[in-house]
Amino acid sequence: MIGSESVTDPDFRAGFVSFVGRPNVGKSTLTNALVGEKVAITSSKPQTTRRAIRGVVHRPTGQLILVDTPGMHRPRTLLGERLNAVVQSTLGDVDVIGFCIPADEKLGPGDRFINEQLDAFPGAKKVAIVTKIDAASRPAVAEQLLAISQLRNWEAIIPISSTSNLQLDILTAELIKLLPRSDKLYPDDARTDEGLESRISELIREAALEGVQDELPHSIAVTIDDMIERDDRDLVEIYANLFVERDSQKGIIIGKSGSRLGDVGARARASIEPLVGKQVFLSIRVKVAKDWQRDAKQLGRLGF
């Protein structure tokens, strides 16, 4: 995907920005809002993002490559350790780190823990992004901005709302200013370097996360067995596996007489069809991979 198109403007800037923060502070929603296309799945469930996903933002003054990462947390499983490792390796290679903190929640131990971790990346410039300002009162936002300003010397502190499109243009401009002067790193039509199968498996997982509770979201993983483009019809057949860790979870996902799995399939198809530009036949098989989050071999098979 990375191109070598020349740029005539000597002030053009391009580089990599990673958003970090506790799980569910709006990092993926922000990435999608800036890219202008859904490149990362979103959910109210913690640990929705499981790998570094790149989204490309194109502006006349520069090109932002956003690297959406899993939420930083104290891990309880081998999967959690590997997700943290993804974050650590990503942050070592980016030009700017955007620390996302929601406006509607006071600074907590998790935020302070992440702020301390940022000291390990002296090569990256640090920006504080106060998300979800539309969900908090003006005095609460002001109080949060003051609290965040006391954490460290930031290059900038920017309050935004991804869902209401508040101050996203200001955030983009500020991030581009912090990037090195560079030619474009991606072609003008690039939005992500995620492969089609990866994006489809993530959309299926996003659909499965809807409405589930407790520990089940962590236990869901999706793989694609096969994708077949039919010659006789404008149709793509997709055969997927949805893994959980226990038989009881399999029953929850399938639901009574398969009703819940049918809903998952319908939601997933609605997201996949615009992506592939064709009608989709989707087959999802629910399988049990016992305690896969703690099993190195099974994590490897599932792509972690």
For residues 178 and 181, what is the distance between their CA atoms, to the nearest angstrom? 9
Contact 187, 5 (CB under 8 A): yes
142 CB-near residues (< 8 Å, 6+ apart):
none
Residue of 103, 109, 46 whose CA lies nearest to 77: 46
Residue 1 pLDDT > 50: no
Architecture of domain 13-177: 3-Layer(aba) Sandwich (3.40)
**Helices 168-177 and 27-35 meet at what angle, rounded to 10?**
90
Evaluated on CA atoms 214, 73, 208, 247, the torsion sign reads negative
For residues 69 and 83, what is the distance between their CA atoms, to the nearest angstrom? 8
Q: Which stretch of 47-61, 107-121, 281-295 has the lowest confidence by average pLDDT?
A: 47-61
What is the reported pLDDT for 150? 96
The pair of structure tokens assigned to 139 is: 């005095």
Q: Convert the pLDDT of each residue in 166-223 to its tens digit.
A: 899 999 999 999 999 999 999 998 888 778 888 898 899 888 888 666 556 678 888 9
Contact 220, 202 (CB under 8 A): no
**Helices 196-209 and 259-276 meet at what angle, rounded to 10?**
150
Mean pLDDT of 225-253: 90
Contact 125, 69 (CB under 8 A): no
Q: What is the rounded radius of gyration, in angstroms, for the C-alpha atoms of the chain?
A: 20
Q: What is the largest CA-CA distance in the chain?
A: 63
Q: Convert the pLDDT of each residue in 37-90 to its tens digit.
A: 888 767 655 555 556 677 899 999 999 999 877 666 566 777 777 677 777 777
Q: Whole-model pTM?
A: 0.72
45 CB-near residues (< 8 Å, 6+ apart):
24, 209, 212, 217
In percent, the amount of the chain with pLDDT more than 90 equals 49
For residues 194 and 222, what is the distance between their CA atoms, to the nearest angstrom? 15
For residues 236 and 233, what is the distance between their CA atoms, to the nearest angstrom? 9
Known binding residues for GTP: 21-28, 68-72, 131-134
Tell me whether strands 96-102 and 156-159 are parallel, antiparallel or unpaired. unpaired
Known binding residues: 21-28, 68-72, 131-134
Q: Which DSSP helix (H) or strand (E) runs through 222?
A: strand 221-229
Phi first, then psi, for residue 72 (nearest 5°) are -75, 135
The pair of structure tokens assigned to 237 is: 């057949």
For residues 266 and 278, what is the distance between their CA atoms, to the nearest angstrom? 15
In percent, the amount of the chain with pLDDT more than 70 equals 87
Architecture of domain 196-301: 2-Layer Sandwich (3.30)
Cite the residue boundaries of each domain of the chain with CATH code 3.40.50.300.
Answer: 13-177
Instruction: State the pLDDT confidence band at 4, using cuts at 50, 70 and 90.
Output: very low
What is the reported pLDDT for 219? 82
For the sheet containing 53-59, what is the strand order?
A: 53-59, 62-68, 13-20, 96-102, 125-131, 156-159
Cite the residue boundaries of each domain of the chain with CATH code 3.30.300.20.
Answer: 196-301
